[in-house]
Amino acid sequence: MGNLGRSPFLIIIALVFLLLIVLPLLNRKSSSVSDSDRALRTKQALTRVETAQQQYLAKNGNYTDHISDLIPLAPKLATDLADGIVTIQIDSSGRKAYLVQVASPVVSFTRAYVDGKLLAKSCLQLKSAGSDFCKRKTSDIAKSLPVTTVPTTTVPAS
């Protein structure tokens, strides 16, 4: 330890190590999207899908089950998908009803519409950053679903 003060070479190496390796590690900033931003963009994507579906219905007389049909009506949906912020699933059978699920690692939304009216909705907060948009937490999910019994018929033995 006494040689460290006497050797300028060791001091120079220690300073170079500090400047080139340790300081950049301490000053690193995250460039990823925050959970709060993910929650907000998930809610925005849901609103975009709902608005675009209403426009599609007004123009075509039915809903679409393809997200690609909605991109011209809401171009920012393509950005949300490309950025990996959300996943969007749409299902429409009968063309007068549709179900949409918009999800991110922070929050998930599900909506069902029939003839332009909201029939059912649900959400799930996966991280606390989603609390502004959804109060239902994963701890609120029932651990098991109720069992429904199917009536059985007995066939008389012959």
Residue 141 located in a structural domain:
no
Whole-prediction pTM? 0.71
Residue 27 located in a structural domain:
no
- Residue whose structure tokens are 């996966």: 126
How many domains is the chain built from?
1
Residue 71 located in a structural domain:
yes
Residue 20 located in a structural domain:
no
> What pLDDT digit, counting tens, does each position of 93-109 carry?
768 899 999 999 999 99
- Note down the domain range covering 127: 35-134
> What pLDDT digit, counting tens, does each position of 38-57 carry?
999 999 999 999 999 999 99
Which pair of tokens denotes residue 114?
Answer: 């029939």
Whole-number Å distance between alpha carbons of 91 and 38: 23
Work out the burial of residue 26: count CB atoms within 10 Å of its CB; fewer than 13 is exposed, 13-18 middle, 19 or more buried.
exposed
Whole-number Å distance between alpha carbons of 124 and 138: 7
Residue 155 located in a structural domain:
no
Q: Where are the alpha helices (DSSP H) in the chain?
A: 8-17, 23-26, 35-60, 67-70, 76-82
